[in-house]
Homo-oligomer: A and B are copies of this chain.
Amino acid sequence: MNDILKKKFPSFSNALLIDINTNALQQSFAAGDVIMRTGQYIKNTVLVLSGKIKIYREDEEGSEFFMYYLQPGQACAISMICATKNQKSQIMAKVVEDVELIMVPLQLMDKWMMQHRSWYEFVIDTYRSRFEEVLDVIDSIAFRAMDERLEFYLKRHRDACDCDDLKLSHQEIATELNTSREVISRLLKKLEQRGVLKMHRNNIELLK
């Protein structure tokens, strides 16, 4: 575990790496697994070694709204936040590519803040970058109409997969933007006409 860990979290000190190795568990999940549900108690802080996770906000009727990706080298800010107060999860986490995770028990998450400068900085930086990302999400829904929100959504997915072919169905996109499939189909066609993308079955090819 140490090798991948060191590679994916290069800022961690050796002492911290040793602490993680002795105290944290490694766990794997397959694509499609929901590893955290709204309302569940969070017992661990999650570090991602490999794979991809999508984080959603859910409402009472079961609608979901895509917030952000969790990728290798990152941690779930919300699990950190909830962990420190033994709180219920405010989000839902779904695996989109098989993942290997490090599960850090919540008491350690807190304890290490005082013991390991590199952990402290990692945690603060995780808070910071996620807060900023969430503010960008607020911008997109507060200020933008659906066409621009769709473009924002597609760009974030391109950033996450680091490729121009997005394996997404119209229905999937609609669900994650909390709108209907027809709306997305229409808007995608407009974007295709503008030359922004090319549509294929289960696949959207971004051109710019």
Contacts from A to B (Cβ < 8 Å): 57, 59, 63, 65, 67, 77-78, 81-82, 84-85, 87, 90-91, 113-114, 117, 120, 124-125, 127-128, 130-132, 134-135, 137-139, 141-143, 178
Contact = CB atoms under 8 A, between A and B. Distances in A.
6 contacts: A57-B135, A81-B131, A81-B132, A113-B113, A114-B114, A138-B141
Nearest to A65: B142
Given A120-B113, A178-B143, A85 B138 contact: no
A112 B85 CA distance: 21
Contacts of A81: 124, 127-128, 131-132
A137 B124 CA distance: 22
Contact of A142 (B57, B77, B90, B128): B57
A177 to B, nearest CB: 8
Contacts of A134: 131, 134-135, 138
A168 B104 CA distance: 47
Say what secondary structure dominates the interface of chain A. Answer: helix
The quantity of this chain's copies bound in the complex is 2
Contacts of A135: 57, 90-91, 134
B57 A128 contact: no
A130 to B, nearest CB: 8
A56 B57 CA distance: 22
Contacts of A137: 138
A65 B138 contact: yes
A125 B124 CA distance: 13
Nearest to A143: B59
A84 B142 contact: no
Contacts of A124: 81, 84
B141 A142 contact: yes
Contact of A85 (B87, B117, B128, B130): B128
